[in-house]
Structure 1
């Protein structure tokens, strides 16, 4: 699998099918090894003698001075540990310096990640990847694969800088807060081959003396009051019994801490465990940070940290009013309580033993075969909730005994008056394994708040019920469509999907024809569903005729499809003297223009005529007749329209020409040849220009995705760049900022 944003070629990255991207640099020979994870091939580096051996990429890659870059790979070597470096070259390909990682703490034949980050020197023009190890004899092998060189790969939306998230440059992202020292280490850690956010280095906090110890991030990015944030990182505790934790902190504009939410790891061992803490930023919040620590540490104990993130909290179900802490039990039971009965509610333990989301689940235990009532905190409902339908859901797992369950919602008005409970009938909780249980209830008049309430009756002693990913949201149509005449587009909204399943979406024309709809990676055919809510903007729907959408959803690639169908929707036809010209992959460029004259179409054909001696008629060999070709003449009536058409044509992409019904033309995918744009009247102050666009009909592009800022936000820009001058240095145009196309990338 190609690593996104990699400067290296696929062959150099995966060392498949050969080692052509690599060359021996020092005291070694290289060959093609086997047993890799990113394809079978790997780079086998064999020492020629004792001492350091190095191999490097055969090519060098353009870099920008004073810009951060990252390199990583997976390594394996039973005899000797390894390191990786970025070799900086000047414009004449002379070596300036090498930024090296630390050497891995121990040798291991298990594939493990090595990585390094660094800033290109001021005179750097190009860079190479270098790997190194130092065997004590000849004939010793080190193996490498899954190589990357490029801009740092960071968590989308992370408020922290690259070095705070990963410590690949140095340890300056962390501060020794209480009874600790902070350093950077390179332990031997095996990450999934396609997990690129954790690397070779980690931040390591060492307890100075017996007692509580902690460190915190030096980053204090901005935070907004009322927004729910989640902090998480991988923790590597010194022992399974160590009390280690992660804490999300909020600060006011003066830098004083005003709130902190802690989540304690229930470690099953001494591996690497991702721990979450989440909270809503209180009034007065201006900034946030993350802290980690050990309670009652022993002097010399080390807590290691990687992949530190603070971001907006995950949305487990679109529209749900439950905060992440109450929905997922990652830091405890939040606002859940036992209203009556002998049951208890706790967070599952240890980490990873029971969960449907992340690493923990709520655990309801009843020691006797009796009835108990479990209730969440109260949550504010959307405006206008009275008399509206609301849905609840819970992922459920009975791990011991059995339960009968009555599900309900308890309603409250704005003054916290209890408006009563709406509930369903009792039923046995299904077993075994995880089940999704949902209900729909109608809010009473004046309801502005609600709490989820479960009445559970244990059918045996010592019964245990695990719950996770709980949600409460206003019930809206599963499928809706909305036309937008100003952009000649249709928005298709799909709700209550199951992430990880497969979806295919067709546009149904007035004649019943089916056309695949375009998504972020091309036409949506067996696309993996990314979340429970999908919003598709269809910019290729025809004008002036009714269309609808037909959706097929499969649990697996081979399972029978479930289906949905939307209502019909029609985009206003508009003026017949105007046409839309659209870029299917970059709809930001779409614009409407006045037609001077439609194309006088031709259909070319490749033919060869052979005159046979003695015959009147030639023998003609013909290929199939080609599609339409012709010149479309349009006017741009303002400088803004002229700029818009120039921008539309700049990319050279396949375009969609759309016209209204009744002009006896059909929508066509076209390429545009050389164009001229003379003024309509030969005067310097004339704005109108006449464009002759040579159109050639082409096929609908299948693999072109709708580009934009999917997942990418201004927060990513703020995190990656200290000043606007840095942004200007990194991107040639604002369009490049939008599509994250950096200079040299």
Structure 2
């Protein structure tokens, strides 16, 4: 699959179907190899003689001086390697090369190399360089899945790219105690589509025996009361030492006021990279935060490597859940979970990754006897008042022994922490094998303001272990809801409690029973993979003045229909029937509501050839199929803003949707617009009204066009990537470009 944002062509990126995007630069010949990861092809670079050999991209790619660019590739060979960005001026002359460090070792398995750097002054173009130093002639080195472009970073990360990745240098980090800071490139195989990992890691080296730590120098701002999550891949030393990551908060004067440490379970299961998470709500006086990492009990010379360091707003494992991430995920210990009755013990699973459903750990409930034990969470606010329905849900798995049953309940409390009792609860029998979803509903009693999740787990054998993960408590809202947004011309469809990794199809159903697929980010929503339990769909192609509803089909990952849903009906209104909507299905933010001067007088052309037959009165006419409607739509724009918006809509030349009130006798129609005429309406020169003639040709509904959007980007990403608003204006031409992250050049 194509790497998003890649300046390289798909052929140059994947070396499929050929090597036309690459050429030899030094001491090498190139051919197409097989066994690649991004398609079967790969670039096989063969040495002519012993020594360094290089290959480069055939093309040079336009870049902007001063902007940071990144390149990476998956590679394999018998020697270590490096990758570089070759900077060229407008004449094609080399200015300099930004090289990665050489990989710490060689590997015949695919592993990642990468580097990033700012384009130097005078640079207008860049090439990718691949380099390895072979020990003899006719030795091969393999490359594949190559990227060149703007840095690919974790969206929502409060830390800048170089602190996250250390791909430029190690300046984003400082030693705190008993440590030095550097960079290394270990041999690590990552998933082919894990685009924001791999390459350089931050290396903390203990100077002497004892505790050692480093700290990110950045201090991103935080909002008091908001829960944040810090995480990173940790690569601890092979000898015993306790590795940890810590989220730290500071007040407005820079004093540290709170911290939450999360320790990698020891010993680690191997010598790889292990993601460790720490979360904590920002205190009332918090202004900024940072991330620290370190080793306790290190030996002199031991190294802790960090990869992909992130601070972001903590996710909710279920939309609307009132549990903090720590209590839901068990990623930094048992949080607020305790045993209130029975003999069972409560602990975090160990080692890292031995048992989990989300993250890397789970809650381990161990019973030494075949008896029942009660396990309870901390108390959490349940706003909204009496009578509202709440749902507690856990995901459970038998780790050892057998369990007769598990009861899931909600225990209620008032504002004074008075125990109001539990809901009736639901009891489940579970068997060894898969993870089970166990849930129970309960209505909040009078005066209840808080609740805890309570589990009564009954072991049926000694030394039985039950694993619990992804624990959530949320107010139950309708699974499917619709609302109209008449001012912007769309219907909003909200889908809740969707099963992750299942497949989703969404139809809009008209009064005559006809079904039309609804458009999503990747095109029409037909068997799209569900990546979130909550989905909000804006249907900008819903008809005006017609009552519609939505049919939702959910399929399991194998493609079998698992369930269906029906929404309530909704009707989209147009306040002024003299107006009409012109919309770009792929860019709904460009939609324009215009005043109609005159609807088209339609023509339907047809291809015909007439033959005169001697001796016959009538011609013989051969006809093709009659074509769709064609005609001129006359409209007005009333302000300069409307005029500019219509120009923006028409600039792309994309297929548009024209919608008018049903009373106008015109069906919704997909059209292409030919050469437009924009005329003044007379009067003063300052008159803002314009009369437009839009030549329309009926078109088919775009099938593959997806709805463009921010794709997860938030204002926090903009704030992190740019120091000033002036930098934003320099990088982007319009606010739409900011939304879609389309930078100049």
TM-score, reference length from structure 1: 0.98
**Alpha-carbon separation, structure 1, partners of 2:57 and 2:697:** 42
**Alpha-carbon separation, structure 2, partners of 1:685 and 1:160:** 49
1:50-104 deviation digits (Å, cap 9, x = unpaired)? 22111000000000000000000011102x1110000000001111111000111
Deviation (angstroms), 1:424:
2.2
CA contact (8 A) 1:574 1:660 kept: no
**Alpha-carbon separation, structure 2, partners of 1:244 and 1:52:** 38
**Alpha-carbon separation, structure 2, partners of 1:427 and 1:173:** 50
Counterpart check, 1:621 vs 2:622 = yes
**Alpha-carbon separation, structure 2, partners of 1:567 and 1:66:** 53
**Alpha-carbon separation, structure 2, partners of 1:648 and 1:82:** 48
The residue number in structure 2 matching 1:593 is 594
**Alpha-carbon separation, structure 2, partners of 1:479 and 1:89:** 55
1:255-303 deviation digits (Å, cap 9, x = unpaired)? 1111110111012122110011111111111111111111010001000
Once the two structures are superposed, the pairs formed by residues 26-425 of structure 1 within 5 Å of their partners are 26-78=26-78, 80-239=79-238, 241-266=240-265, 267-382=268-383, 384-403=384-403, 404-425=405-426
Once the two structures are superposed, the pairs formed by residues 262-661 of structure 1 within 5 Å of their partners are 262-266=261-265, 267-382=268-383, 384-403=384-403, 404-661=405-662
Deviation (angstroms), 1:230:
0.6
| Stretch moving more, 645-654 or 534-543 | 645-654
The residue number in structure 2 matching 1:13 is 13
**Alpha-carbon separation, structure 1, partners of 2:537 and 2:724:** 34
The residue number in structure 1 matching 2:742 is 741
Question: Tell me, what secondary structure is at the counterpart of 1:322?
Answer: coil
Deviation (angstroms), 1:399:
1.6
Deviation (angstroms), 1:347:
0.5
**Alpha-carbon separation, structure 2, partners of 1:729 and 1:417:** 58
Question: Tell me, what secondary structure is at the counterpart of 2:108?
Answer: strand
The residue number in structure 2 matching 1:697 is 698
Question: Tell me, what secondary structure is at the counterpart of 2:412?
Answer: strand
Question: Tell me, what secondary structure is at the counterpart of 1:52?
Answer: strand
Hey, which bits of structure 1, 4+ residues long, moved more than 4 A? none
**Alpha-carbon separation, structure 1, partners of 2:406 and 2:571:** 46
CA contact (8 A) 2:675 2:694 kept: yes
Counterparts in 2 of 1:343 and 1:564: CA distance versus 1, 3 Å:
same
**Alpha-carbon separation, structure 2, partners of 1:178 and 1:568:** 64
Deviation (angstroms), 1:415:
2.1
**Alpha-carbon separation, structure 2, partners of 1:601 and 1:547:** 28
TM-score, reference length from structure 2: 0.98
CA contact (8 A) 2:428 2:438 kept: no
Deviation (angstroms), 1:604:
1.1
1:198-222 deviation digits (Å, cap 9, x = unpaired)? 1211000000011000111111111
Deviation (angstroms), 1:364:
0.5
Question: Tell me, what secondary structure is at the counterpart of 2:662?
Answer: coil
Deviation (angstroms), 1:614:
4.2
| Stretch moving more, 611-620 or 87-96 | 611-620
**Alpha-carbon separation, structure 1, partners of 2:729 and 2:689:** 33
Number of equivalenced pairs = 742
Aligned alpha-carbon RMSD (Å): 1.3
Deviation (angstroms), 1:240:
6.2
CA contact (8 A) 1:573 1:661 kept: no
CA contact (8 A) 1:64 1:125 kept: yes
Deviation (angstroms), 1:737:
1.2
Question: Tell me, what secondary structure is at the counterpart of 2:664?
Answer: coil
| Stretch moving more, 483-492 or 66-75 | 483-492
1:347-394 deviation digits (Å, cap 9, x = unpaired)? 001111100001100011111112211110000113x23111111111
Question: Tell me, what secondary structure is at the counterpart of 2:292?
Answer: strand
1:702-732 deviation digits (Å, cap 9, x = unpaired)? 1111112231111111111122222222222
| Stretch moving more, 410-419 or 476-485 | 410-419
Deviation (angstroms), 1:425:
4.9
CA contact (8 A) 1:240 1:270 kept: no
CA contact (8 A) 2:408 2:438 kept: no
CA contact (8 A) 1:406 1:423 kept: no
Segments of structure 2 that go 5 or more residues without pairing to the other structure are none
The residue number in structure 2 matching 1:710 is 711
Question: Tell me, what secondary structure is at the counterpart of 1:352?
Answer: coil
1:404-446 deviation digits (Å, cap 9, x = unpaired)? 2222111111222221111325442343221111111111011
Counterparts in 2 of 1:260 and 1:572: CA distance versus 1, 3 Å:
same
| Stretch moving more, 260-269 or 715-724 | 715-724
